[in-house]
């Protein structure tokens, strides 16, 4: 299984210090636009990659309706514990310790997959995307939503600030990476966010957040497996 131990430790620490719920609040509005763009039908089996506290996995479960199911994967055990403890009243949902590039399921196991702010932590993006394409049924889709990409200049400093490895591609670079992995891109778009910045942030941070949310937005890419 290939992932960075530094990344796993960072997110284990974030989970124990309450930052998983901070990410949920921060990502929710933009992620929802990408989630609602997914072509999910009742009863389908769905995968959430880099699930954190599992908020998107629970949304996918609800969206899959009667007979549907959802699995969230993550490499940080503390994230998985939070995801499980927040899902105890639900059935047909599961959280599994697994890395993007070595998904422990046979070919064609899922109808659709989603990931919010996670895939760029994969040490090898091409291998991660091929692994995701492999577990999708022919015609199944993968929707990725990210804030860390070249057209968002405010994200350039994140690897240095977090002291971990992150792969920063452009929008066209992501489209090509999907296509190279066998995921035919049928949509890519930005998810904007009209919420005001957090009042506790500095004026400079508030200005960055406003510019990001109103003018840049999260990048969503949806590719279809062949
Ligand atoms: C920025 S968090 C986003 C969590 C969640 N999707 C959200 O939006 O709140 C990224 C998550 O991806 C997980 N992750 C990082 N590298 C991974 C890998 N190679 N395989 C699986 N999960 C990974 C981290 O442990 C972390 O929980």
Cα–ligand 1 centroid distance for 204 (angstroms): 27
Say if ligand 1 is within 6 A of residue 15 CB: no
Q: Which CATH superfamily is domain 5-225 in?
A: Vaccinia Virus protein VP39 (3.40.50.150)
Predicted pLDDT at 2: 84
Q: With 0-12 CB in 10 A as exposed, 13-18 as middle and 19+ as buried, what is 177?
A: buried
Say if ligand 1 is within 6 A of residue 99 CB: yes
Predicted pLDDT at 1: 58
pTM metric for this prediction: 0.98
Say if ligand 1 is within 6 A of residue 79 CB: yes
**Ligand 1 atom 11: residue of nearest CA:** 50
Predicted pLDDT at 41: 98
Q: Which atom of ligand 1 is nearest to the CA of 10?
A: 25
**Residue ranges of domains in the chain:** 5-225
Tokens of 180: 């190279």
**Whole-number Å distance between alpha carbons of 77 and 118:** 15
Output the average pLDDT for the chain: 97
Q: Count of CB atoms within 10 A of residue 202's CB?
A: 9
């Amino acid at each position: 299984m290939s992932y960075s131990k530094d990344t796993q430790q960072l997110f284990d620490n974030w989970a124990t210090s309450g930052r998983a719920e901070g990410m949920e609040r921060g990502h929710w509005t933009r992620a929802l636009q990408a989630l609602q763009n997914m072509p999910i039908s009742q009863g389908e089996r769905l995968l959430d990659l880099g699930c954190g506290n599992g908020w998107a996995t629970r949304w996918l479960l609800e969206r899959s309706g009667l007979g549907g199911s959802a699995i969230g994967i993550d490499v940080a055990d503390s994230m998985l514990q939070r995801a499980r403890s927040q899902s105890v009243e639900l059935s047909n949902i599961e959280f599994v310790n697994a890395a993007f590039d070595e998904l422990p399921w046979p070919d064609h196991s899922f109808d659709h997959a989603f990931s919010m702010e996670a895939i760029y932590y994969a040490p090898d993006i091409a291998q991660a995307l091929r692994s995701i394409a492999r577990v999708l049924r022919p015609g199944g889709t993968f929707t990725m939503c990210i804030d860390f990409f070249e057209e968002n200049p405010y994200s350039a400093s994140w690897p240095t600030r977090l002291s971990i490895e992150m792969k920063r591609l452009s929008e066209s670079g992501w489209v090509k990476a999907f296509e190279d992995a066998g995921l035919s891109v049928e949509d890519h778009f930005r998810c904007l966010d009209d919420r005001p910045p957090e009042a506790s942030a500095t004026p400079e941070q508030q200005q960055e957040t406003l510019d990001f949310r109103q003018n840049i937005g999260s990048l969503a890419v949806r590719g279809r497996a062949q």
